[in-house]
Structure 1
């Protein structure tokens, strides 16, 4: 079964780059949606389950911290990976508060992304029983 991934970033080039950065299929992952507007991304999440959300933390329509909090409220079981060009600790903290698997700095390092995706997949495979006991 392929795990579903959604990418959210207001920069189109970054969305395109992320798609090409790793071989998603070989990881058992499928990018089912890319969204440049976080508000549209939330609408999509309401109607569609997503296993892993990779989101930028600096978007004009809605702040990253507000977006990831809203996204996790809709899909609490979803793994979260946050991206930011800013080494701004508020963004890191907001990601961590939403149990982000990792925080990636732009420009994104392929190895770091791969490692993070493996971490997210490990969380997904363990979460069916461990999450309930937190």
Structure 2
């Protein structure tokens, strides 16, 4: 089973870099959409219902934290990862209150991203197997 990943970042080159890094990983992940801001991301969120969202914080139209608020309002078990160029404690606090467990800094380190995504895949698999019983 492939898990669906939605990517959000207003910097196109960084979005493509994330997609490339994930594509090189030997993980059951499939990118179902790439959006330049939260408003655009909402379309994918509602249509595709991703398992994992990787989002920048600062984006035009709707920032990553507001987007994650929409994710949480859906009450679905969607894992959210924040990627940011800002080491801002207030952003980290807000993200934590929204249940975000992973906060990565740009430029995103391949090994760190792989470690985070591997952990999330293991959690997703555990959740899948608990539904089978």
Q: What's the TM-score once normalised by structure 1's chain length?
A: 0.87
Indicate whether 1:88 and 2:74 are aligned.
no
Equivalent residues, number: 130
1:2 is matched with 2
Say if 1:24 and 1:77 are closer, same or farther in 2 by CA, change over 3 A: farther
- Equivalents in 1 of 2:100, 2:28: separation in Å? 20
1:33 is matched with 33
Q: RMSD over aligned Cα, in angstroms?
A: 1.9
Consecutive unaligned residues in structure 1, runs of 5 or more = 130-134
More displaced 10-residue stretch of structure 1: 73-82 or 110-119:
73-82
Consecutive unaligned residues in structure 2, runs of 5 or more = none
Q: How far 1:23 sits from its partner (Å)?
A: 3.6
Say if 1:26 and 1:75 are closer, same or farther in 2 by CA, change over 3 A: farther
More displaced 10-residue stretch of structure 1: 2-11 or 62-71:
62-71
1:132 is matched with none
Q: What's the TM-score once normalised by structure 2's chain length?
A: 0.87
Q: Give the conservation status (yes or no) of the 8 Å contact 1:9–1:59.
A: yes
